Amino acid sequence: MGRILAFDYGKKRTGVAVTDPLQIIASGLTTVETPLIFQFIKTYLQKERVDCFVVGYPTPLENTRPSDSLPLIIKFVELLKKKYPKIPIELEDEHYSSKLAVQAMIDGGLKKMQRRDKAMIDKISASIILQSFMQRKNK
């Protein structure tokens, strides 16, 4: 069994989370500068088997316009499909993942200055997206 790799894709940075090989536990892995994300994926796949990619997807809420990041995420997913056609891609609603990440940091006792670390927020957001996917998949 391989891992599941999840992404909280952004204009500047992309948070990355991963499961353990048994796909039981989701953990924040890293944050990658977005222009380097495909190099990161290539290197990661040389070391680890990945069964699935999960991408945080900002589905529009009722009576709201789509997120500004939606076209970027769609392009990322299309490139991911093209570069890695044998690895399935799942989209997972990412609403409130950043707010939940900040709340998790508060609950974890991180100081205010540490909570301003956007890279950490992105990594935690990716793990929240991955946990959400795993819970939905296991129902």
pLDDT score of 128: 87
Q: Domain 3-137: which CATH class?
A: alpha beta
pLDDT score of 62: 61
Q: Domain residues of the chain, as ranges?
A: 3-137
pLDDT score of 125: 83
Mean pLDDT in each 10-residue stretch from start to end of the chain (139 residues)? 94 94 92 97 97 88 66 95 97 69 58 61 84 84
SS3 sequence of 5-66: EEEECCCCEEEEEEECCCCCCEEEEEEEEHHHHHHHHHHHHHHCCEEEEEEEECCCCCCCCC
